[in-house]
Amino acid sequence: MPGGEVLDVFDRVDVPDGLADHLRTVALIDHHVHGVFDQPVDRAGFEQSINEGSNDPIPDFMTQFDSPLGLSIRRWCAPLLGLEAFADADTYWKRRAELSPAELAELLLPAAGIERWVVDTGFKGDLITTPQRLTELSGRPSSSILRLERLAEELLEDGTAAQDFPAAFRARLAAAVDDPDTVGTKTIAAYRTGFDIDWSRPPDELVVQHARELAARGSLRLDSPVLIAFGVHEAAERGLPIQVHVGFGDRDLDLHRTDPLLLLPLLRTMAPVPVLLLHCYPFHRQAGYLAQAFDHVNFDVGLGINYLGVRSTGLVAEAMETAPFAKQLFSSDAFGPPELHVLGSVLWRRAMGIELGGWIRHGDCTVADAIRIVDLIGVHNATRVYGL
């Protein structure tokens, strides 16, 4: 893979040579990712970090290595650490623990073959590397995503008066527009309210009222539908792309309230800036429909790719059922262990080769068509959407 040790991602898989060669070497844009751990973690912390759904300690009766993701780590990351593929969990952990966080990142990150990272810094930023440090460790440039809920919380934490909140929020968005390192925004409404809210654009007096109520609380965790809708509309009004967490995530969200079809009232009325529906599993077919129905809607199936492991081939295939290829993007949503940054790429390349290779063998497309689809989803769509 570009920039790192070559992994034979098509081991025991029959993929036409031209497509396989291209998938091995194409440098991808990871359009939604987080930093890597910059402090050592023990085995319990590592296993907790490869379990998306729960923040609880791993029970004594199990290990997260016995999961689709754990199996993929042993298969694909063990060779990068100088071990045999499928090294057992104890052997893998012993070797991993010999390396510092920086050594581990410098060893693994280049193997992802990423040309550019588009980094969300709004979650547990004290535990992971900054975009600048991610660039240092990987040798590849990074851009940033501004998380809208965190921006609002920071303004109030810094003492912004409620009556000044709308203007201050708009000023920060204007600064983001002028910042070449910031290429978009993100909302985590899925975690804070769900999507079944009033998405109409609120007047400033209502925004001030909700900002005052939030500031008066002991916790500044923004869960006001009014302030969330305000942030999204203001970002769209300024032409900033908007990422939206959809579907699969930890248990803080109510999964049934994160079906992207609940966003229809917003999509029909907002300024038509690029909307990036992130992750989407198990709602990836709904996301594909929305990407077909709305010119400004795009989506990915990142995060799910890692956690489905070998079954991610089916997820990638289903994502290509209805949506135009110009409306899908590649992402890993990796957070913490650099193994996730590698696997997001490895499993996507492998899935695309298996699926598109079948299309070629059955006469449904040419090798040139398949390579174009890979380049659209892996590189060109992100370049267009974010103006990279």
Stronger pLDDT, 7 or 279, i.e. the higher one: 279
Q: What is the pTM of this model?
A: 0.94
**Closest-CA residue to 246 (of 264, 258, 255):** 258
pLDDT in tens, 279-299: 999 999 999 999 999 999 999
CA 197 – CA 40 distance, rounded (Å): 40
Stronger pLDDT, 51 or 218, i.e. the higher one: 51
User: In the predicted model, is pLDDT for residue 3 greater than 60?
Assistant: no
State the average pLDDT over residues 290-311: 96
Residue 230: alpha-carbon gap to chain centroid: 23
pLDDT in tens, 181-216: 999 999 999 999 999 999 999 999 999 999 999 999
User: In the predicted model, is pLDDT for residue 4 greater than 70?
Assistant: no
User: In the predicted model, is pLDDT for residue 68 greater than 90?
Assistant: yes
pLDDT of residue 122: 73
Q: Which domains does the chain have, with CATH numbers?
A: 17-40+100-386 (3.20.20.140), 41-99 (no CATH)
User: In the predicted model, is pLDDT for residue 6 greater than 60?
Assistant: no
CA angle 348, 386, 298 (to 5 degrees): 55
pLDDT in tens, 122-159: 766 678 999 999 999 999 999 999 999 999 999 999 99
Mean pLDDT of the chain: 94
Q: Compute the radius of gyration of the chain from its Cα atoms.
A: 21
End-to-end CA distance of the chain: 22
Token pair for 176: 């983001």
pLDDT in tens, 91-125: 999 999 999 999 999 999 999 999 999 999 876 66
Token pair for 269: 């009325």
User: In the predicted model, is pLDDT for residue 16 greater than 60?
Assistant: yes
